[in-house]
Structure 1
Amino acid sequence: MRLRDCHNFHDFRRMAQQRLPGPIFNYIDGAADDEVTYRRNTASFEDCDLVPNVLRGMAEVDMSVTVMGQKLAMPVYCSPTALQRLFHHQGERAVAAAASKYGTMFGVSSLGTVSLEEVRKISGSPQVYQFYFHKDRGLNRAMMQRAKGAGVEVMMLTVDSIVGGNRERDKRTGFAIPFKLNLAGMLQFAIKPAWALNYFSHESFKLPQLDEHVDMGGGTMSISRYFNEMLDPSMNWDDVAEMVRLWSGQFCLKGIMSVEDARRAVDIGCTGIVLSNHGGRQLDGSRSGFDQLAEIVDAVGDRIDVMMDGGVHRGSHVLKALSLGAKAVGVGRYYLFPLAAAGEPGVERALGLMRMEIERCMKLMGAKSISELSRANLRFR
C-alpha cells in the first residue's frame, strides 16, 4: 500500500499495520479492558446528524479559531502522545513540522522522544506540553520551568492517568518499554525486518523530558513502573491549583469528564479543559467526550475554553463537536497511524485531508466561519 492510496483514517491504519511489528501496532490501536469506550468514541458521532443550510454564497470559508489565546488556522490540533519515535524514527519532529505547515497546535508529551527545545525550533505553531503529576514536587516544578524556558505556550496536565489502564493487547504480546516481549511478540518483530532496520539505524531511543530525572534508558525502569512508582495518585485540586499559580499562563486539564470537575477547573484558574477518556485507554465503560460536550459547554463554556478528543476520524466529526460548542478538537491516532506509515509526509497528508474535509463540510453546511456553526445545525437520533 502506498501513501497516495490513503484517503482516510482506515487507509492510514492499514498502511501502519503493514509496516509495524504487531506489538507496536497494537500499542497504538489498543485500549483498555473490552475496548468499549474506544469504539464508543467514534460511534457517538454517528448518533448525531448534520442539518445543512444551502444557497449561502459559499465561495470562501474561514476555518481559523482562537483557543487558549492561540490562533489556529484550522480547528483541529495534534494531541500530545507518547513514544512517537518508536513508530517512526522522525517522531515528534515530523508532527511538529506538519502542524507548522498547517498552522495548528501540537503537543509534546512528558514521555516524548524528542526534546521540547528541539521541537520548538522546528515549528512556529503553538506548542503544548503535556505532563503527569509526580510524587516529587520539585520534579514537577523543574519540568514546568523547563517548558517555560523552551517557549511552550500551553501547559496541559493529564488528570485521568494516576494509574495505567488495563491494556490487555499489550499483555498478550509482552509490549513494554524497555521491551520485554514474549515469544509471540518476538515473532511479530521478526516478520517486519524493515521496521527494525529503520529503528536501529537511527539515533538511540530516549525520553529527553525525563532523562535527567528517571533512568529508563538503562532498563532500570519501565513505563508501567514509571506510572505506578513515580506518579502521585493522591494528586488533588489543591495541588493543581498551586501548579496553575506557578505556571501563570495558559493552563489546561486533559481528562475532565464531569460538570462538577469542569467547574472546579474554572475556579482554580485554568484557561482550558479537554473532555477526554484518553482514547479509551484508561477507564473502559466511561463516556465519550462528544457525549459529554453539550452539558459541559452549557455549564462552563462562557468561562473556559472547552475542547474534546477521542474517536475523531472525519471533518464532519469536527463540525459536530464545534456545533455543540467545542473551541477546537484534538486528534491522536488520526496522525499516529500516518506517522507510522510514512513519517512526515504521512502526517502532512492526514492533516491536509482533514483540512480539505472541514472546508468541504463547511461549504456544504452553509457556514462561512466556525462561529456560524451552532446546535441549530444538529439533530440527535
Structure 2
Amino acid sequence: MALYFNKKYPSVEDLRKKAKKSIPKFAFEYLDGGCNEDVNLIKNTSEIRDVELLPYYLSKHTGSSMKTELFGHTYDAPFGIAPVGLQGLMWPNSPEILAKAAFEHNIPFVLSTVSTSSIERISEITEGKAWFQLYHPAENRLRDDIINRAKEAECPVLVILCDVPTFGFRPRDIRNGLAMPPSMSVKNILQVLGKPNWALNTLKHGQPNFEVLKPYMPKNLDIKQLGKFMDETFSGRLNEEKIKPIRDVWPGKLVLKGVANEADAESAIRLGLDGIIVSNHGGRQLDAGESTIKPLARISEKYGDQITVMMDSGIRSGPDVARTLASGAKFTFMGRSFMYGVSALGKQGGDHTISLLKTELQQVMEQICCERVEDFPKHLISK
C-alpha cells in the first residue's frame, strides 16, 4: 500500500515526545520505562547502534525489496508488532488500531495474553493472520483452553514466553500504583484531567480490561484481588517439560520468545520449535543482563541454519532494523515504537509508524545497495 506519514513526526523520537504530552504520566511511564535503574533499557538501543553497515556504491544495484518470507508467508517488511501488555491503558483501543494497520501493511501483529483485546476480535480484524503470545498458565486446563481459542481463531503462530519467571521490579509503576484498572489516586486523577483527549477516548471505548482473560476472571475484582488472581493464574517460569505438551497439541508454528543464551536456543531446537525471538522483554525484567544484540550475533551464527532466529528489544527505527538484520536476525519486532505512534496520533498512529519505518528501512537498503533482506549480513562491518 502507499506510504504516507505525518511530516510533523518524521521519527520515532518525535512520536515519543508527542506521546508523552498526550497520555497520563502513569501510562507513559509504564510504556517508556524499564526496570530498576533502566541500565539494560538504555543498552539495548545504544549497543544496536554500535553496529555499522558497509555500502557498495559501485555494485550493479537494480533496486531493493523489503519483502520477507517467514513461516510460509511473504510479508511486505522484515518487522512486526511485538506483544505489549495493557495496550488499551496507554491508548484506548490501541490493539485493534495496530492490528488493523499491520493487516493492511502485511506485517505480523502479535497479541499478548495480557493485552486489552480478545483473541477472537483481533483474529476478525486480521482475517486470522495475527500471532498470539501465551503467558504460561499455572493450570493445564486454562492453558489448553486458551490454546484452543487461538487454534479456532486460526492464529498461524503461537509465541510462548520464557523471560518472565518473576515480575520485573519497576519503580515507576510501583510509585504510580499501576494495575488494571490503575489506582485512581489524587495524583493519577489529576494526570487524567490534564489529558482530556485520552480521557474522552477512554470514556468512548470503555475502561480497558484483560479481554483474553475475561472468561476466566471473577467479576468486579479490586486491585488487590486482581493481583492475587494474576499471581495464582500464571506461572511464568517455563521449562522443557511445560513446552513439550504445547508442541504436541499446537498445529501451527511455535516460537519461543525471551531467548538470551545459546543453551536455551539449543533446547528450542531439541524440542522441535520453529523459531526463537532473542529478547530481554524490552529491558523490563533484568537490568543486570546483556543487551539483545550481543546474544543475537552469537546465536544466529551458531544456530541460524537450524532454527529461525528473530529479535526484539531495543529496536526503535528503520536503521535499527537494518543493523539487527545485518547482525543475523531473520526478522525483527518492535513494541514501544508502535505504542508511541498510536499514543501520539490515535487512529492514524499505526499506519503512520509502519509507513515511517518502511520508508526509513527502504532508504537504508537503497543507500548501501542491499537488494534483498537476506543480503544484510554481507553489509555488516565486523569488529
Q: Could you say which residue in structure 2 is the equivalent of 1:365?
A: 368
Does the residue aligned with 1:5 lie in a helix, a strand or coil? coil
Q: What is the rounded CA distance, in whole Å, between the counterparts of 2:362 and 2:60 in structure 1?
A: 14
- The yes-or-no answer on 1:379 pairing with 2:378 is no
Q: What is the rounded CA distance, in whole Å, between the counterparts of 2:75 and 2:95 in structure 1?
A: 19
Paired residues for 1:306-325 under 5 Å: 306-325=309-328
Cα distance change on mapping 1:202 and 1:227 into 2, 3 Å: closer
Paired residues for 1:324-339 under 5 Å: 324-339=327-342
Q: What is the rounded CA distance, in whole Å, between the counterparts of 1:299 and 1:174 in structure 2?
A: 43
> Could you tell me whether the CA contact under 8 Å between 1:51 and 1:378 is conserved in 2?
yes
Q: Could you say which residue in structure 2 is the equivalent of 1:165?
A: 168
Q: Could you say which residue in structure 2 is the equivalent of 1:341?
A: 344
Q: Could you say which residue in structure 2 is the equivalent of 1:282?
A: 285
Shift of 1:315: 1.4
Q: Deviations over 1:98-145 (max 9, x none)?
A: 111211111111112122222222224731101111111110000000
Letter in 2 for 1:15: K
Cα distance change on mapping 1:103 and 1:295 into 2, 3 Å: same
In structure 1, which of residues 10, 15, 26 is the aligned counterpart of residue 13 of structure 2?
10
Shift of 1:55: 2.6
Q: What is the rounded CA distance, in whole Å, between the counterparts of 1:192 and 1:252 in structure 2?
A: 38
Q: Could you say which residue in structure 2 is the equivalent of 1:100?
A: 103
Does the residue aligned with 2:282 lie in a helix, a strand or coil? helix
- The yes-or-no answer on 1:114 pairing with 2:117 is yes
- The yes-or-no answer on 1:199 pairing with 2:202 is yes
Letter in 1 for 2:379: N
Q: Deviations over 1:263-306 (max 9, x none)?
A: 00010011011011111111112112211111101221111110
- The yes-or-no answer on 1:150 pairing with 2:153 is yes
Q: Could you say which residue in structure 2 is the equivalent of 1:32?
A: 35
Q: Could you say which residue in structure 2 is the equivalent of 1:88?
A: 91
Cα distance change on mapping 1:32 and 1:72 into 2, 3 Å: same
Q: What is the rounded CA distance, in whole Å, between the counterparts of 2:126 and 2:187 in structure 1?
A: 40
Q: Could you say which residue in structure 2 is the equivalent of 1:266?
A: 269
Does the residue aligned with 1:371 lie in a helix, a strand or coil? helix
How many residues are paired up? Answer: 379
> Could you tell me whether the CA contact under 8 Å between 1:104 and 1:126 is conserved in 2?
no
Q: What is the rounded CA distance, in whole Å, between the counterparts of 1:32 and 1:302 in structure 2?
A: 34
Q: Deviations over 1:81-113 (max 9, x none)?
A: 122222222321111111112111111111121
Letter in 2 for 1:352: S
- The yes-or-no answer on 1:174 pairing with 2:177 is yes
Q: Could you say which residue in structure 1 is the equivalent of 2:64?
A: 61
Does the residue aligned with 2:52 lie in a helix, a strand or coil? strand
Q: Could you say which residue in structure 2 is the equivalent of 1:78?
A: 81
Q: Could you say which residue in structure 2 is the equivalent of 1:251?
A: 254
Cα distance change on mapping 1:134 and 1:125 into 2, 3 Å: closer
- The yes-or-no answer on 1:353 pairing with 2:319 is no
> Could you tell me whether the CA contact under 8 Å between 1:157 and 1:254 is conserved in 2?
yes
Runs of 4+ with deviation above 6 angstroms: none
Gaps of 5+ in 1: none
In structure 1, which of residues 208, 211, 218 is the aligned counterpart of residue 211 of structure 2?
208
> Could you tell me whether the CA contact under 8 Å between 2:132 and 2:159 is conserved in 1?
yes
Q: What is the rounded CA distance, in whole Å, between the counterparts of 2:236 and 2:255 in structure 1?
A: 19
Letter in 1 for 2:169: N
Shift of 1:203: 3.3
Cα distance change on mapping 1:256 and 1:27 into 2, 3 Å: same
> Could you tell me whether the CA contact under 8 Å between 1:263 and 1:299 is conserved in 2?
no
- The yes-or-no answer on 1:298 pairing with 2:307 is no
Shift of 1:57: 4.1
Q: What is the rounded CA distance, in whole Å, between the counterparts of 2:360 and 2:186 in structure 1?
A: 43
- The yes-or-no answer on 1:42 pairing with 2:62 is no
Q: What is the rounded CA distance, in whole Å, between the counterparts of 1:329 and 1:274 in structure 2?
A: 8
> Could you tell me whether the CA contact under 8 Å between 1:68 and 1:272 is conserved in 2?
no
TM-score, L = length of structure 1? 0.94
> Could you tell me whether the CA contact under 8 Å between 1:307 and 1:326 is conserved in 2?
yes
TM-score, L = length of structure 2? 0.94
Cα distance change on mapping 1:133 and 1:221 into 2, 3 Å: farther
Letter in 1 for 2:240: W
Q: What is the rounded CA distance, in whole Å, between the counterparts of 2:344 and 2:237 in structure 1?
A: 39
Does the residue aligned with 1:171 lie in a helix, a strand or coil? helix
> Could you tell me whether the CA contact under 8 Å between 1:128 and 1:155 is conserved in 2?
yes
Q: What is the rounded CA distance, in whole Å, between the counterparts of 2:132 and 2:180 in structure 1?
A: 21
Give the percent of matched residue pairs that are identical in Structure 1 and Structure 2: 28
Shift of 1:196: 1.6
Cα distance change on mapping 1:149 and 1:362 into 2, 3 Å: same
> Could you tell me whether the CA contact under 8 Å between 1:47 and 1:380 is conserved in 2?
no
